[in-house]
A and B are shown apart, each in its own frame.
Chain A
Amino acid sequence: MNRYLGGKYDIIVVGGGHAGVEASLAAARLGMKTLLLSLSLDHIALMPCNPSVGGPAKGHVVREIDALGGQMGINADATQIQMRLLNTSKGPAVQALRAQSDKHEYRVRMAWTVQNQENLDVKQAAVEDLLIEGDHVAGVVCNNETMFLGRAVILTTGTYLRSRVIIGKLLTPAGPNNQPTAAKLSESLKDLGLELFRFKTGTPARVDRRSVDFSKTKEQPGSDAPLAFSYMTKRFDRPKVPCYSTYTNPRTHEIIRENLHLAPKYSGVIEGVGARYCPSIEDKVVRFADRDAHLLFLEPEGLYTNEIYVQGMSTGMPYEIQEKFMRTIAGLEHVKIMRPAYAIEYDGVVPTQLKPTLEYKAIGGLYGAGQINGTSGYEEAACQGLMAGINAALKLKEKEPLLLKRSDGYIGVLIDDLVNKGTNEPYRLFTSRAEYRLLLRNDNADLRLTEIGREIGLVDDERWRVFNERVEAIASVTEWLGQVKFSGRDAKVAAYLEEKGSAPVDGGISGTDLLKRPNIDIRDLAALDGKAGRWRDDDLKEREIEVKYEGYLRKQREQVARFEKTEGRRIPDDIDYGDVSGLRLEAAEKMAEIRPYTVGQASRISGVSPADISVLLVYLTERRGKDGEK
C-alpha cells in the first residue's frame, strides 16, 4: 500500500487523553518536535467517568504533576465548579484536594492549551500499526493511508484498545461514549511480542438535573477557602456549584437482587478483570448483603449541561433495570436517565515489560503511559504521561533519565509498583501504598519536586520565581518560630492557652516549643505576636506540620535514608541470574524478567525474598571483587 508520509517528528504521542496531553505538552516544552494523534479532536482530555480531579493520593499526584511543570493542576483549577480539602481531621499527610470539574470546560481548555503549544502538532487519526526498525520504533501507521516517522512513540491509548462497551446483554465494540475502538493497534502490539492483559471498568448513569428532587437529598457545598492545586493559579472567582448526596434503600437492593442474572458479571459475558475498589452497585449489594443503604453522590457535570453523574451507582445492568432501581431512591423517584451506566473492557500491555522510564524493554523508543499500563484514573494517567514525555525527551537529548523514587513522590510509588509488581486489576493510587506517606504530603509536593522540574526544563521562570518566594517565606517562618518568645505573664497568651486547654507557661517559651503542644495553631501564634496576615496559610501550615510532628518525620526520614542506600546499589545490566549460585529458581526467573536496576528495586519484586536479596548481594560483592582483580 502506498502511504503518504505525513511528517517527521522527534516524538509521537498516540492518544489525546490525560496521559497523552501531559506527554505531548512535556515533550514539546522540552523542545521536541512533537505530534499528538487522537481518534477524535473533540475528545482531547475527555473525562469519560467522574467529573472530578483529586482526592486522597490522586490530589497529591496532581500537585506533583504541577510541581514538575505539568498541566493538569492549572487546568483543573481553571475549570472547577467546587473545590474541597478532604481528610482535614485525619492528619496532614492524608489531606487532599478534590475539585469538581466542569468536564466540558476542562476538555475544551486543555485542548486549547495543547493546540497552542509551540513545537506541537495535533492531528486526528487512528493509529493502526507501529513502524519498527530492528529493535527500535521508527514511527506509526494510521488508518487514513498516512504514516508519521518518529524517533520515539508514546502509547497513551486509554481504554480504546479492542474495547467493548457492555450494557446488560448489549455488547458494542466501541470506546467510551461510543467512540471508535482501536482494535488493529491491539493486534499489532501483540504481533510485536508484547504481552497484553484485559481489564474492565465502568461508569454510572448520567441523569437529567430537571428530573431530580433535590429537596430530598443533602447538599454538599464546596469550600469557601481559595483552594487550588497549582501555585500558578491566582484567580479564585469560579462559580460554585454544590453536589448532593442520597442513599439506596432495601427496595433498591431488592430490585437489583431480582435482576442479578441480567448483570454482565453474573451472566458471564465479561472477560476483563475489574477493580475491587470500584465495584458495581450489584457487587456491593451482593457482597455487603447486611447493609441496607449505600451512599450516592449527585455530581453536576458542568455549568452548561443538565447531566448529573451518579457517583456510587456504577452498573452493568440493562437500561430498563437501571431506571427502575434508581427510581426507588430518595430524590430520584422521577429520574430520567440521559446516558445509561455501562461497563467497558479493553486491552493493555503488561507493565512489567516496562523500564522505570516507561520505555518498553524490548522495543527501544516505545513508551507506554496511562490505562494501557493497567492503571485507572485521570491523575494516574496524567503523571505517567508526564514522566513518559520527559523521559522520551531526555533520551533523545542523550541525558540521564528522570527516575522518581518511592521517597520522592506518589509518582515514584506508582511507577515502581507498576514496573516491578505489575497489577492484576486496574491500579489506583491510595495513600496507603506509600510507605513514606508522612513525607509525601499535599502541602510539600512543590517543595519536593519543583527543583527537579526546573532542572529538567519544565519549570518556567514565573513558576520558579513563585517557588523561591515560597521557600523564602517558609524560611522566615522558621526563623520567627525560633526567635519569638511567648510570655506566660502576657494576658493575651495566658488567655489563649486557657482557651486551648493548654498548661500555663512559666516565664517564656519559644514559638517552636509552644507549637509542639497539641491544639496550638501556628496562625494563632502569628496573630498573638502581631503578625497576622504576614505569611500565607500554606507557608505557615507547612512549618507547623514539620515542627509539631518533628519526631515522627525524623523517624521516617531515617527510614528513607536506609531505603536509599539499597536504591543506590546498582545491578550491572549484563548480570546473568542463572550464574548467581544459591538463588532460588523462582527468584532468578522473576529477576531475569524484570531486570531491576538496583538492589532496592529487586527487593520489591513479588516472589523475591530477603534471603534472595542476601544471596544476590553475596554475588555482587564477589563479582565486584573479581572485576577489581581484572
Chain B
Amino acid sequence: MDFPLICAAATPEGVGGIAILRLSGEGSWELARKIFQPHTPFDWDEAKGYQLHYGHIVFDGKIYDEVLLALMKKERSYTREDMAEIQCHGGFLAAKRILELLIALGAKLALPGEFTKRAFFNGRIDLSQAEAVIETIRAIDEKDLDFSLTRLKGDRGRGFLKIRDDLVALIAETEAVIDFPEDGLDDTVAATIRKRVPAMIEAIDAEIAKADEGRVYRHGIVTAIAGRTNVGKSSLMNALLREERAIVTEIPGTTRDVIEDTVILRGIPLRLMDTAGIRETDDPVEKIGVTKSRESLSRAELILFVTDRGDGFDGEEREILAGCAGKKVIVVCNKEDVVEYDREAAAAAFAPHRAVFLSAKEGSHLEDLGDGIRELFLTGAITADSGEWVGNLRHKEAFLRAKEHLLEVVKGQELAMPLDFQVIDLRGALEALGEINGESISMEILDRVFSEFCIGK
C-alpha cells in the first residue's frame, strides 16, 4: 500500500477555542519544520516525540497563527507513522488557512477514517478492530459511489463533466496521433493543446471559486462586531438576531453560554461571534469585555465595524482597527435615524473600507449591509438557483492538483517538451479529476481513440 503524507483537522470544524491539525506519513516532520518557527529554537534532528513546542506558523514571510506543535515519532504515534500535530486557534479561518498551506506544500487531505486505517495497517490497532475498519472503508466507498452516481450526473455537474470530457478528448487526440503515426491523422495536436489547456485551467478556476463560495454558503462567514462603546454594537447584534430572539432571555447571564449565532442576511449565513463578550463591552461595569472582544476579532473573517460618525475613524477606532489587520471590514454607520451623514464624504473618509448606513435600533437598511457583505465575499461564481454542483474542500484540493498538472503542460509547451511528456501531465490532471467522481480512466482513452479517430489497416 502506498501511504502518502496526509493531513486533516482532528477537531470538529467550528468555533472551539483550539483546533488541532494532524499530519501523518513520511515527511510530516520535514513539512512541519518548513512552516513552524519555534519561539525557543530546538534541534529538529534530536527532537524527542511528545513534547510541545510553542511558536508560529510562518511561510513565505507571512505569519499564519500562533500555535503549539507536537511531534510524534512513528514508534509511538497513533498511526505508527511520523506525525505532527499543530494546535492553532479555533474557528475555521486559522485552521483552514494552515490546512490549505499544508496541502499546497504537498500533503493530501485525509479521507474520513484514513488515520485509523493507517493505524490498522501499520499494526497499531488490535486485530479485533478490523471489522470496524472495514466498515469505515466501505462507508467511504459507498458514499463516494453514491456521490459519483447521483450528484455529478447530468446537468448539475455540467461544469465538472465538461472539463473532464474536454480533457479526455484532448488526451485521446494526443494518444491517437502518437500511436497511429501512419494513419493520416492531423498532426496539429500540439497547437490544440496550446489552445485548449488555458480554457480548461480557467474552467477549473471557476470550479475552485465555486468551491470557495460554496464554503461561504455551507459554513457561513465568521463575523465579529467591533467599535467604540455606545456606538450600538449590541443593537446591531440584536437587530441581526431579531429572528432568533428566543435564545436571548431576560435572565441575566444566559447569553453568556452563547458562543455564536448564525443568522441569514440576504441569503448569506453569518456566524456572529462572542455574543456574550460584546454585550459585556456595553456594560460599563465589565471592562474586561474589551479583551474578550479582541479575541473574537482575531478569529473572525469579517468585521462589522460600527461607528456613529461620518468623518473617518478617530484615534480609539484606529486602535481597534489595527487589531483587524488582514480581515475584511465593513464600516457600519449606525444611527442614521439621528445622525445626519454626508454619505459621499463618509464613504470617502472610510475608504478603502466600504461604508453602509443604517439604524440598528429601527432595523432600517439592514439589507444594505447584506449587499455589502455579498459583494465582499461572493464573486458570483455560484449563481442562485442554478442547482449546480459545488465542490467541497476535498474536491477543491483535487481541482488544485489538476490545475497544477495543466500548468505543467503549459510550461512544457514553453520549453518545447515533446508530446509524450506533455501527455504525462494531461493524464495527471485527469487522474486528479477522477478522484472527484471516482471514475477510472484506463480504458476510457482508448475507447475514445477508437470512436473518434479513423485508424487501422
A394 to B322, CA, bound (A): 79
A437 to B, closest residue via Cβ: B420
Q: How many residues of B contact A (CB 8 A)?
A: 42
16 contacts between A and B (CB under 8 A): A56-B180, A89-B419, A90-B177, A90-B419, A288-B454, A295-B184, A297-B182, A314-B457, A431-B420, A565-B1, A582-B131, A582-B135, A611-B141, A618-B133, A618-B137, A621-B130
Chain B residue numbers with a CB within 8 Å of A566 are 1-2
User: Given A430, A549, A555, A614, which contacts B179 in the complex, CB threshold below 8 Å?
Assistant: A430
**Chain A 304-336 interface residues, beta-carbon cutoff 8 Å to B:** 311-314
Determine how close the nearest CB of chain A comes to the CB of B110; give it in whole angstroms: 14
B185 to A, closest residue via Cβ: A295
Max count, chain A CB within 10 A of own CB: residue among B120, B181, B415:
B181
A517 to B, closest residue via Cβ: B415
Query: Top 3 nearest A-B pairs by Cβ distance?
Result: A91-B418, A295-B184, A91-B420
Chain B residue numbers with a CB within 8 Å of A430 are 175, 179, 446
0 or 1 for each of A589-630: is its CB under 8 Å from B? (1 = yes): 000000000010000000001110011011101100110000
Task: Answer yes or no: B121 CB below 8 A from chain A CBs.
Answer: yes
User: Given B134, B424, B450, B457, which contacts A311 in the complex, CB threshold below 8 Å?
Assistant: B457
Structural contact, B456 and A284, CB atoms closer than 8 A = yes
Determine how close the nearest CB of chain A comes to the CB of B168; give it in whole angstroms: 12
Structural contact, B130 and A622, CB atoms closer than 8 A = yes
Answer whether A56 and B454 are a contact pair too, CB < 8 Å, given A94-B419, A518-B416, A625-B127: no
Answer whether A622 and B416 are a contact pair too, CB < 8 Å, given A87-B178, A609-B141, A611-B137: no
Task: Answer yes or no: A204 CB below 8 A from chain B CBs.
Answer: yes
Task: Answer yes or no: A55 CB below 8 A from chain B CBs.
Answer: yes
0 or 1 for each of A91-103: is its CB under 8 Å from B? (1 = yes): 1111000100000
Task: Answer yes or no: B117 CB below 8 A from chain A CBs.
Answer: yes
Structural contact, A92 and B420, CB atoms closer than 8 A = yes
User: Given A86, A519, A555, A565, which contacts B416 in the complex, CB threshold below 8 Å?
Assistant: A519
Task: Answer yes or no: B321 CB below 8 A from chain A CBs.
Answer: no
Structural contact, B420 and A56, CB atoms closer than 8 A = no
Structural contact, B420 and A94, CB atoms closer than 8 A = yes
User: Given A55, A57, A278, A618, which contacts B134 in the complex, CB threshold below 8 Å?
Assistant: A618
Structural contact, A56 and B181, CB atoms closer than 8 A = yes
A277 to B176, CA, bound (A): 10
Task: Answer yes or no: B48 CB below 8 A from chain A CBs.
Answer: no
Task: Answer yes or no: B97 CB below 8 A from chain A CBs.
Answer: no
Task: Answer yes or no: B202 CB below 8 A from chain A CBs.
Answer: no
User: Given A55, A57, A294, A432, which contacts B454 in the complex, CB threshold below 8 Å?
Assistant: A294
Chain A residue numbers with a CB within 8 Å of B175 are 430-432
Structural contact, B178 and A432, CB atoms closer than 8 A = yes
0 or 1 for each of B411-427: is its CB under 8 Å from A? (1 = yes): 00001111111001000
Chain A residue numbers with a CB within 8 Å of B420 are 90-94, 431, 437-438
A204 to B120, CA, bound (A): 59
Chain B residue numbers with a CB within 8 Å of A203 are 457
Task: Answer yes or no: A50 CB below 8 A from chain B CBs.
Answer: yes
A156 to B85, CA, bound (A): 61
A510 to B310, CA, bound (A): 67
A267 to B272, CA, bound (A): 74
Structural contact, B121 and A621, CB atoms closer than 8 A = yes
B183 to A, closest residue via Cβ: A295
User: Given B117, B127, B182, B446, which contacts A614 in the complex, CB threshold below 8 Å?
Assistant: B117
Task: Answer yes or no: A235 CB below 8 A from chain B CBs.
Answer: no
Task: Answer yes or no: A562 CB below 8 A from chain B CBs.
Answer: yes
Chain B residue numbers with a CB within 8 Å of A599 are 1
A173 to B167, CA, bound (A): 46
Task: Answer yes or no: A552 CB below 8 A from chain B CBs.
Answer: yes
Determine how close the nearest CB of chain A comes to the CB of B132; give it in whole angstroms: 10
Structural contact, A204 and B418, CB atoms closer than 8 A = no
Chain A residue numbers with a CB within 8 Å of B446 are 430, 432-433
Q: How many residues of A contact B (CB 8 A)?
A: 62
Task: Answer yes or no: A489 CB below 8 A from chain B CBs.
Answer: no
Known: A86-B182, A91-B419, A277-B456. 6 other contacts (CB 8 A): A277-B450, A279-B455, A438-B424, A581-B131, A625-B127, A626-B127
Chain A residue numbers with a CB within 8 Å of B141 are 609-611
B422 to A, closest residue via Cβ: A91
Structural contact, B1 and A617, CB atoms closer than 8 A = yes
Determine how close the nearest CB of chain A comes to the CB of B115; give it in whole angstroms: 14
Max count, chain B CB within 10 A of own CB: residue among A87, A432, A518:
A432
Chain A residue numbers with a CB within 8 Å of B121 are 617-618, 621
Determine how close the nearest CB of chain B comes to the CB of A542; give it in whole angstroms: 15
Task: Answer yes or no: B18 CB below 8 A from chain A CBs.
Answer: no
**Chain B 200-256 interface residues, beta-carbon cutoff 8 Å to A:** none
Task: Answer yes or no: B140 CB below 8 A from chain A CBs.
Answer: yes
Structural contact, A621 and B120, CB atoms closer than 8 A = yes
Task: Answer yes or no: A287 CB below 8 A from chain B CBs.
Answer: yes
A623 to B, closest residue via Cβ: B127
A191 to B179, CA, bound (A): 40
User: Given A204, A287, A288, A614, which contacts B457 in the complex, CB threshold below 8 Å?
Assistant: A204
A50 to B, closest residue via Cβ: B457
0 or 1 for each of A253-277: is its CB under 8 Å from B? (1 = yes): 0000000000000000000000111
Task: Answer yes or no: A146 CB below 8 A from chain B CBs.
Answer: no
Determine how close the nearest CB of chain A comes to the CB of B4; give it in whole angstroms: 9
0 or 1 for each of B424-457: is its CB under 8 Å from A? (1 = yes): 1000000000000000000001100111001111
Chain A residue numbers with a CB within 8 Å of B130 are 618-619, 621-622
A518 to B120, CA, bound (A): 48
Chain B residue numbers with a CB within 8 Å of A50 are 457
A618 to B137, CA, bound (A): 10
Task: Answer yes or no: B138 CB below 8 A from chain A CBs.
Answer: yes
A549 to B177, CA, bound (A): 21
Answer whether A432 and B179 are a contact pair too, CB < 8 Å, given A518-B415, A609-B141: yes
Structural contact, B457 and A278, CB atoms closer than 8 A = yes
Structural contact, B178 and A56, CB atoms closer than 8 A = yes
A433 to B456, CA, bound (A): 17
Structural contact, B127 and A90, CB atoms closer than 8 A = no
